[in-house]
Amino acid sequence: MPHARPTIAVVGSLNIDLIASVESLPTIGETVPAMGLIRRFGGKGANQAVAAARQGAKVNMIGCVGSDPEGREYRKRLNNEGIVTAAISTEKAPTGTALIAVDRAGENLIIVVPGANGELTPTMLRGHARRITSAAVLLLQFEVPMPSVIEAVRIANRAGVKVVLNPSPLRSDFPWKECKLDTLIVNEVEANNIFGKSAMNSTRSGQWLERYPIEQVIITRGANSTLCLSRTAHLEVPTLTVEPVDTVGAGDAFAGAYAAQRSAGAEVSAAIRYANCAAALATLKSGAQEAIPFRVSVMNALSRAGEHSKPRR
């Protein structure tokens, strides 16, 4: 039976995004004027926490912000989303910042200043172990120090808590064969980099997955159907057909919605179907957190989609 109020622990980043709109991206040594500047809340950890909370999950956010106005403002923002912020530490380093330039064609340059995100330590994770061990799902990304990611996974593994990992931005220092994962969520490029192109052959997935303690690998492919590979099954789950306005944050909407569904006891195929819908709806508005849909919108869209969203085996 699904949990009455499923709990998710999210370990990840909290950033302030400063987005400048430019005619064209600058070359080395060039100064270009911006046509506008937008300030938004971001960071993959916080984005996915918001996505999970908007699907009805009780979310504990574990991370770090600075002792600056941005950090205080971010706490208030997450509290307003119903997210528990008691495990967000306040550090001397400034709140993480992403400096983003976007040109008319949608191409971008991004500079990330980790700031307080880089202060999250394994000791902090051990101090918040009860928030992880009492959760139905632990959700992580790779925007905080790797030793802390690994420690969080180990805490969850010892307690038998499902781990959902979205390894973005992809790094080479994660011990893939030592950490047990319920679900790995990757795009095609990330899948190829981790497992190799030959391993992505669905007819051989059972063979290569035997080498990893991963129950299922979900491969998102934009507007194309989402793949789910496990030792015993290969699923293709169609996405919701939309005309996207902005694809930023769609991946975070997917991960948060999927984790919320898994924490509530949903089967993998149903959770993917739901997450596909949430991700598609997130492309209909600009921004990351601003565009993340609420549960009622996702349920309405799923109802309209009907039989067309059923997975193919």
**Cα 284 to Cα 145: distance, rounded to the nearest angstrom:** 32
Neighbours of 188 (CB within 10 A): 15
Look at residues 281, 246, 231, 302 and name the one whose alpha carbon lies nearest to residue 19: 246
Give the list of residues 6+ apart from residue 196 with CB closer than 8 angstroms, or none: none
State the catalytic residue, choosing from 17, 68, 182, 252. 252
Q: In what order do the strands lie in the sheet with 108-113?
A: 34-42, 15-22, 96-102, 108-113
Question: Two tokens at 248?
Answer: 């930023």
Determine the angle formed by the axes of helices 44-53 and 250-263, rounding to 10 degrees: 50
Residues in the chain: 313
Local structure of 182: helix, strand or coil:
strand
103 is an active site residue: no
Look at residues 48, 39, 147 and name the one whose alpha carbon lies nearest to residue 97: 39
Show the DSSP H helices in the chain as ranges.
Answer: 44-53, 69-80, 122-127, 129-133, 146-159, 188-195, 205-209, 250-263, 268-282, 295-305
Look at residues 292, 295, 289, 293 and name the one whose alpha carbon lies nearest to residue 46: 289
Adjacent-strand bridge partners of 234: 229
Catalytic residues: 252
